[in-house]
Structure 1
Amino acid sequence: MKYMIASDLHGSAFYCRKMLEAYQREQADKLLLLGDILYHGPRNDLPREYEPKEVITLLNEKKDELLCVRGNCDCEVDQMVLEFPILADSCILDLGNRMVFATHGHIFHENHLPPLKAGDILLHGHTHVPICRAVEEIMILNPGSVSIPKEDSPHSYMTLEDGVFLWKTLEDGNEFQIFTV
């Protein structure tokens, strides 16, 4: 199974369309969204083409292909308009010999780890910055943000296929980091 992993869309119809084009190009089986889907929150500038209603329509068309966790900007009213579950705080992906704990990152992150064993992976968004580093024998991975990247990082996402995580730029799909489990 191939996953495309994206985070922090923040209501940008422009980047939602770009993300879905990348999803199509990747020919992934599932799109895992790590939260902050519709709203930009008070700490972020408005993203390009901030149109949450269009994002709702675009994502609902893919509802059978989406996995999602709740971000700090997501709430119950969002669930009322989205036709796929968004309010789970985490999602578990079983890679056989390792577990991926996927969450948004505002609760669990490298300074507050969930209960994981050595070799497991914490996958989160929230910071809008791609990362790949080990903390206490746990791998911490972040795809960055598709709509509001920070610290001069690109608009980015990740793929996971056959135990290989690839970071890619949203605009052209160029790879910029690789991690193999």
Structure 2
Amino acid sequence: MRLVVISDIHGSSKYTKKAIEVFNREQGDYLLILGDILYHGPRNPLPEEYDPKEVAKILNEYRYKIIAVRGNCDSEVDQMLLDFPCMGDYSVVLYDNKRFFLTHGHIYNENNMPNISTEDIMLHGHTHVLGINKKDGISIINPGSISYPKENNPHSYGVVDGDVFYIKTLEGTIIQEIVLN
């Protein structure tokens, strides 16, 4: 089973289409979305091809393949357009004897760790900055932003393939990787 992980779409139909292209190219079984799906947020400029209704339409076609959590820019009105649940502050995915704790990053992050064990992996977005870190034995992975990267990072996403988590550019070039415990 392959998991494709994206974060911080912020209503960009252009990058939602690219995310679906990536999902299909990677032959993903599930698409994990780490929040900030439809709205750009008042602190951010409008992303390329800002069209939240189109984003909802595209993602709803994959509703049975999506596991999503709420970002700080997501609200109840967004859930009204989406045919998959996205209002939980976190979700847990069991994969090949590993537990992934999915969250956006505005509540749980390196500075406010959830109560998870050292064998677990925390996936979060929010900062728009990709990275793989460890804290107290817990792997902390941010796939970066699919549509609005910051700090000179490329548009990026993550893939879980067996025991390895890859962060890749939209073209599929590996940026970082970690072997999961």
In the alignment, is residue 35 of structure 1 matched against residue 11 of structure 2?
A: no
1:50 alignment partner in structure 2: 50
Q: How does 1:24-173 map to 2 (within 5 A)?
A: 24-170=24-170, 172-173=171-172
Residue 7 of structure 1 deviates from its aligned partner by: 0.1
Q: d(CA) in 1 for partners of 2:98 and 2:27?
A: 24
Q: d(CA) in 2 for partners of 1:97 and 1:64?
A: 22
Structure 1 contact 95–163 (Cα < 8 Å) conserved? no
Q: d(CA) in 2 for partners of 1:3 and 1:98?
A: 13
Query: What amino acid is the match of 2:174?
Result: E
Cα-Cα RMSD: 1.0
**CA distance 1:61–1:42, change in 2 (3 Å):** same
**CA distance 1:176–1:69, change in 2 (3 Å):** same
Query: What amino acid is the match of 2:159?
Result: T
Structure 1 segments, 4+ long, off by >6 Å, are none
Q: How many residues align?
A: 180
Residue 81 of structure 1 deviates from its aligned partner by: 1.0
After superposing the two structures, state which structure 1 stretch, 93-102 or 36-45, moved more: 93-102
Q: Any stretches of 5+ residues in structure 1 without a counterpart?
A: none
In the alignment, is residue 13 of structure 1 matched against residue 13 of structure 2?
A: yes
* Secondary structure at the counterpart of residue 23 of structure 1: helix
Q: Any stretches of 5+ residues in structure 2 without a counterpart?
A: none
Query: What amino acid is the match of 1:167?
Result: I
* Secondary structure at the counterpart of residue 102 of structure 1: strand
**CA distance 1:83–1:95, change in 2 (3 Å):** closer
2:175 alignment partner in structure 1: 176
Q: d(CA) in 2 for partners of 1:41 and 1:75?
A: 11
Structure 1 contact 143–157 (Cα < 8 Å) conserved? yes
Q: d(CA) in 2 for partners of 1:163 and 1:89?
A: 26
Q: d(CA) in 2 for partners of 1:118 and 1:84?
A: 30
Identity of aligned residues (%): 51
